[in-house]
A and B are shown apart, each in its own frame.
Chain A
Amino acid sequence: MRSLFPILSPPWVVLSLLALTLLALVSCEEEVAGGSTTSGRRIILKTRLEVTAPGDPFLTGLGWKVTLTKAAVATGPLYYFDGAPPFAAAPRQLRRGVLARWLGPSVAWAHPGHYVPGNARGQVLQSWSADLLAGTTELPAGDGITGVYRSGRFSFAASSAGPAAGFLGSNVAAVEGRAEKDGMTVYFRVGTDLATLTTRAPEGRVDGCVFEEVDVQQDGTVVVQIRPSVWFNLVDFSGVAPGTVAAPTTIQPGENAHLGFLVGLAQLSAYRFRYEP
C-alpha cells in the first residue's frame, strides 16, 4: 500500500498535516488580528435641501428689500469632492506660528481661485425639484465613499420630478416676489431655463462650492443650503414695471434685471454643503 500510494508515506502525511494546520492558523490569525478588509468603505448619503428663514425678507446688494412669495429650483447632479474650494482658508498644516511669521521667511501664496476639485467622494445623480419656501426638501439619496469632503458642485437641470415640477415648467429656477426700495414696489416673476443659464454657469454647474470640511466615516445626510438672497444681489428692479400682486411683471431674458439674476444663480456663495452623521 505504501508503495502504491506514496502520499500515505510518513513524511508526506506530516507535510499534509502541517499544511492544513498552517492554513487553519493563518485563517484564524486573520480573524483575531481584525483588519479583514481594506481601508475605507462605501456609504449612503441622504440629501436634504434647506433654505434658512425662507419667508423672511432680505436686503440685496443694490439696496432692494425682497420678499419671496414663490421660489423653486430644479437640481441636477450634485457632487462632493476632496479638493479645497477656491476661497478656502490655508490648509491647517501650513498655518504658521506668530514667531515664525515674524522671524521666518515669508510665504508667497499662489493666486487663489484655481479650483481643482480632486476626487469625487459622493454624489446624487437624480434630478429633483424643490419648493424653496417649504424650508427643507428631501432629495433622492446619494452614495459616496469615506474620506475628507471639502467642496461641492451644485447643478441645475430641468426636472419633472419632485414637488415643484409643475411650478417650474421648463425653468430650472423660478421666483415670484416683491421688491421694495425708496417707496417703489415691484411685483415680479423671474426664471430661467437651462440653456439661458449656461451663458453664466457652463452646463448649469456651479463648481467649487464650500463643503464644510469633514472626515466622513459613516452613512449620513448631506445638507445643501441655498441662499436665494445671493441670486438677487445684482438684480436692479428699477427698470422693471411695478406689476401687481395678481399680475406680477415677468422679467424677460435679456433685460438687465434678468442678467443680474443669472449672475446670482451662478454665485458660489449661494450654495453650501455640510454633512450630518
Chain B
Amino acid sequence: MQPPRPLEQPLATWPGGSPGEHDVVVPVLLRISTAGAVLEAQVEVSVGDALDREALAVARRWRFEPARRGGKPVEARVRAYVRFVGQRQHHHQSEGERSHRSHEGNLRAVGPVQVPKYGEDEHRQENSREVRVQGERTLPGAASATTRDRAVIRAAPHRTAGDVLRVVPGVNLTQHGGEGKAHQIFFRGFDAVHGQDLELWAGGAPVNDVSNLHGQGYADLHFLMPEVLREVQSSPGVYDPGQGDFAVAGTMRLALGYDEPGATAKVMVGSFGTRRYFLAYHPRDTREETFAAFESYSTDGFGPSRSAQRTSAVAQALYNLGERATMRLLVTHYGGRFASAGVVRLEDLRRGGDPFATYDPNQGGDSSRSQLVVELSEAKEGFRWSLVPFLVLRGMRLRQNFTGYLEDPRGDGVQQLNDATTVGLTASYRRSWPLFSPRDLLEAGVQARSDGIEQSQRRLESASGRIRKVEVDAKVHAADMAGYLDAVLHPWKRLALRGGVRVDGLSYRTVDAGGQARSAQGARLNRRGTAELILTTGLFASASYGEGFRSPQARSLAEGQRAPFTTVASQELGLRYREERLQGSVAVFRTTLSDDLAFDQARARNERTPATLRLGGAFEMVVRLASWFTSSTSLTYTRATFRRSEGEYVAGALLPYVPQFVGRSDLSFEPALRRVLGRLLEGQLGAGISFYHRRPLPYGEFGRDAFLLDLRAGAKLENFHLTFDIYNALDDRWFDGEFVYASRFDQGEGASLVPARHATMGPPRTLLVSLEVAL
C-alpha cells in the first residue's frame, strides 16, 4: 500500500499572534479521504487548548495525494505533526523564505510522520532536544469541567448573554424580575439565586457584586451581547485553587470575541414590539479578541409591565507588546431599564385569572455597568505571567412587591438601591517545575478586589410611591484578598496530580445612615486537588477534592465578628473523553455545606438553613460530525437534602426549589445549500431544548416541569444573513419561577394568609426576525 503524500499544508499560525521561542509540535491523527481531503483530525497528545485548536484547524485544510492500494485510491489513517515554528526558527529565516513557505505550504515541516506511543513520544523528544513543547497546557481538572465554544453558543437562539449560560451542563435559568434584572441561576442542585453560589467572570473581570442589597453575589450579564461570547468555561465544584468567593456550586468564565471580519450591522424585529440593533466591527487579519460591538434593544414585553430597554457597548483590543508579551484592553458600558410584572398566585390562575397580569404595575428597575480591564501577559520559555487590573462601576435600582399588602395595608413595595465601585486585580506566575517530568508546573496567584458600596432599602406606599419606612441605609466597604499556590506534577507518565492551597481574607466595614460603624474580618484556608489518570488515548479518569466558602452579607455582621464563612467541601469522580469530533464526560459529585441558604416561605426571602448535601451525577457530550453539524447535550441529576434537622427543616428532606433533573441540548446544522447568482447559499438550522423535572417545593409539593424548544432557521448569501428565531416554539405555558410564601394581594377580608404557591410566567412563543449585513 502506498501511503498518502502531502500536497498542500498551510503553516500553522501561533495562537495569540506572537510565536514562542522554540517550535511546538502537536501530534495529530488524520483520516484521509480517497480524494485526499482530511475527513477527520484528532490530537494525539494535547499541548494545550489553544494550540490544539489551531493545530486541528490547520490540519483540516491540508490536502494529500490519497493512499493507494493496487493503484486505487483508498481511505487511510496517518499520524502527523503540526509544527508551530518558534522564534529561533523564524530568526533563521529571511522574510523571503517565510513568505515562500507560506505560499508553497509547509511541505518540509510535515510529513506522514509516525508518532511513537504515548510516553515514548515524550522520552524521544527529551532525548533528541529536537523540539520543546510550550504554550497553554490543559491543566488537570474535574471531569465535568466543560468549555462550550461559539459553535455551540450559536446553535440555538439566545436573547442575552445571560441566556447563553443555558448551554452549560447542569444550568437552569429563570428571569422572574423582568428583562434587565439578573437571572436566577440554578446549577447542579444549587439555587444560586442571582449569583450567590456561582462565581462569574467575563473578559477577565468579576461579574458578581459583593454584598449587593438584593442578593449576595448578584451577577447581571446584560452588559454583554450574546454575539460577543467566544466561549463559556464551566468549572463545577471548587477544585481549582484559582476559584474564589462565590465559587460554591462552581465557576464560569466568559471569554469575549467576535469573529465576523469587517463591520456588521444587524436589525431585529419581532413579537411584542421587540426591536434590536446590533453593530460590530472586527478588523481583518486580527484575532477575534479584537472587536467593538454596540447593541440597542427594546421590547413592549409579552404582557403588562414587561417592557425593557437597554443599550450597551463593548470594545476589546489585543496588542502585541514586543515579541512575547501581549496587552488586552476591554471597555464596556451598559445601561438598561425594565418593568417587572412580579408574581401571580396559583389559586388566581386556577380561578381563570390572566396568567400574564400583574398585581402591581409599578415594579421594575434599572441597571448600569461600566468597566475597564487591562490584561498584561507574557509567555516565555519555562514561565508565563499575567497581571489583570480592573475597574467596575455598577448601579442598580429595583422596585418590587412580592407580598402585596401582607405587612402593611399601605402596601409592601420595596425600593432597593445599590451602587458599587470595584477596583481589583488578578495576577499569576506560572513556571516550569520539573520534579518528576518536564511537564510539571508551579503557579502562584494573587486575587484582590475592593468594593465601595452605597445601598438603601425603603418600603413604599403602593398608591403614591411615597416612602413609608427606611429599612437599610448604609455604606459598605468590602475587601477580598487571596493568594494561592497550584502545582501540577506527573509522577508517572499516565498520571497527573494537581493540587494547591488558597487563602482568602475578607474584611468588611459598614456605616449606617446614623453614622454607627462596625467592622468584621475573617480568613480561610482551602485545599484543593485533582488526580487525573490517562486510561487510553483521549480517555481520562479523574478524582477531585476541594474546599471552598460562602462569604457573608456585610450588613449581617456585628462589630468585631469574625466573618463567619459557610464552609464547602466538594468531591467528584469522573471520566472524560476527548477527541476532535467527540467530547464528553460522566461524573458523580458530592458537595456539603456547613450551613446553607434557602428561600424561606415564612419570610419570603433567603434565610439560613442547617447543613446540606448535594449528591448527583452529570453527563454531557459534544459531537461535531462535520463542519456543518454540532450538537451539545447534557443531563444532570442532583439530590439536594438537609443533613441536620433544625427548625422546620428535617434531616433527609429535600431542599426546596432546585430542579433535580436538568437537561439541555443544542443542535446546529449549517449545510452549504447551492449556488445562487454565483454565490454560495448557506443554510442554518438550530435548536435549543431545555427541560427540568422534579422541582421540589415546600410542604411536600413539586413545581411544574418545563420543556422549552427554541428554534433558529437562517440563510446566508455572501454579505446577507437572514435569521428566524422562535423561542418557546411549543408555546408551553411554563412557570419561569415558582415560590411558596404568604402574600396578600386582596385587601378585602378573608384573604388567605397561609403560604401559597406563586409563579412568574415564562415568555410565550416569540418570533424574532433579524437581517444581518456584512459591510
Contacts and interface: CB of A to CB of B under 8 A. Distances in A.
B577 A122 contact: no
A79 interface: yes
Interface in A85-129: 118-123, 125-127
Most buried by B among A30, A33, A35, A39: A39
A146 interface: yes
Nearest to A81: B753
Contacts of B642: 39
Interface residues of A, number: 47
Given A35-B654, A77-B750, A145-B754, A9 B700 contact: no
Contact of A42 (B615, B621, B654, B701): B701
A194 B642 CA distance: 48
B754 A76 contact: no
B95 interface: no
Interface stretch (A12-20, A64-72, A224-232): A12-20
A122 B699 CA distance: 13
Given A37-B700, A38-B653, A15 B635 contact: no
Given A15-B577, A26-B615, A26-B637, A40 B538 contact: no
Nearest to B655: A38
Contacts of A41: 699-700
Most buried by A among B39, B700, B751: B700
Given A6-B582, A29-B639, A76-B749, A38 B754 contact: no
Interface string A157-176: 10000000000000000000
A127 B750 contact: yes
Contacts of A119: 602, 742, 755
Nearest to B638: A26
A3 B77 CA distance: 11
B510 to A, nearest CB: 27
B686 interface: no
B698 A38 contact: yes
Main secondary structure of the interface of A (DSSP, over half): mixed
Nearest to B539: A11
Nearest to A80: B754
Interface stretch (B214-222, B419-427, B463-471, B584-592): B584-592
Contacts of B538: 11
Nearest to A122: B754
Contacts of A18: 575, 586
A39 B650 contact: yes
A40 B700 contact: yes
Contacts, number: 124
B40 interface: yes
Contacts of A26: 588, 615-617, 637, 639
B653 A35 contact: yes
Contact of A38 (B536, B581, B635, B700): B700
A57 interface: no
B641 interface: yes
A147 interface: yes
A38 B696 contact: yes
A251 B599 CA distance: 53
A143 to B, nearest CB: 6
A241 interface: no
Contacts of A157: 749-750
Most buried by A among B602, B653, B749, B754: B754
A27 B635 CA distance: 13
B652 interface: yes
A39 B582 contact: no
A143 B699 CA distance: 13
A27 B581 CA distance: 31
A123 B754 contact: yes
A146 B641 CA distance: 19
Nearest to A36: B654
Interface in B626-670: 635, 637, 639, 641-642, 648-650, 652-656
A72 to B, nearest CB: 20
Interface string A40-59: 11100000000000000000
Contacts of B753: 79, 120, 123
Contact of B637 (A3, A23, A38, A77): A23
A36 B654 CA distance: 6
A276 interface: no
A22 interface: yes
B31 interface: yes
Given A18-B586, A26-B617, A123-B754, A39 B637 contact: no
Interface string A126-157: 11000000000000000111110000000101
Contacts of A255: none
A126 B579 CA distance: 66
Contacts of B637: 23, 26-27
A12 B749 CA distance: 63
B699 A123 contact: no
A125 B701 CA distance: 22
A11 B700 contact: no
Contacts of A38: 653-656, 696-701
A14 to B, nearest CB: 8
Contacts of B641: 35
A19 B536 contact: no
A122 B756 CA distance: 11
B654 to A, nearest CB: 5
B699 A23 contact: no
Interface string B269-303: 00000000000000000000000000000000000
B561 interface: no
B649 to A, nearest CB: 5
B752 interface: yes
Nearest to A82: B602
B619 interface: yes
Nearest to B600: A119
Contacts of A254: none
A272 to B, nearest CB: 20
A40 B648 contact: yes
A34 interface: yes
Interface string B731-775: 000000000001000000111111100000000000000000000
A232 to B, nearest CB: 27
A22 B617 contact: yes
Contacts of B503: none
B586 to A, nearest CB: 4
Given A7-B623, A38-B696, A120 B754 contact: yes
Contacts of A121: 754
Contacts of B654: 35-38
A23 B750 contact: no
A39 B653 contact: yes
Given A3-B39, A42-B700, A12 B582 contact: yes
A144 B754 contact: yes
A166 B654 CA distance: 51
Contacts of A123: 752-754
A276 B736 CA distance: 39
B445 to A, nearest CB: 33
A33 B643 CA distance: 13
Which 8 A-B pairs have CB atoms at the shortest separation, nearest pair first?
A: A35-B652, A120-B753, A19-B619, A39-B653, A22-B617, A39-B650, A37-B700, A119-B602
Interface of A: 3, 6-7, 9, 11-12, 14-15, 18-19, 22-23, 25-27, 29-30, 33-42, 76-77, 79, 118-123, 125-127, 143-147, 155, 157, 203
9 contacts: A35-B653, A37-B700, A38-B700, A38-B701, A40-B700, A42-B699, A123-B753, A143-B754, A145-B755
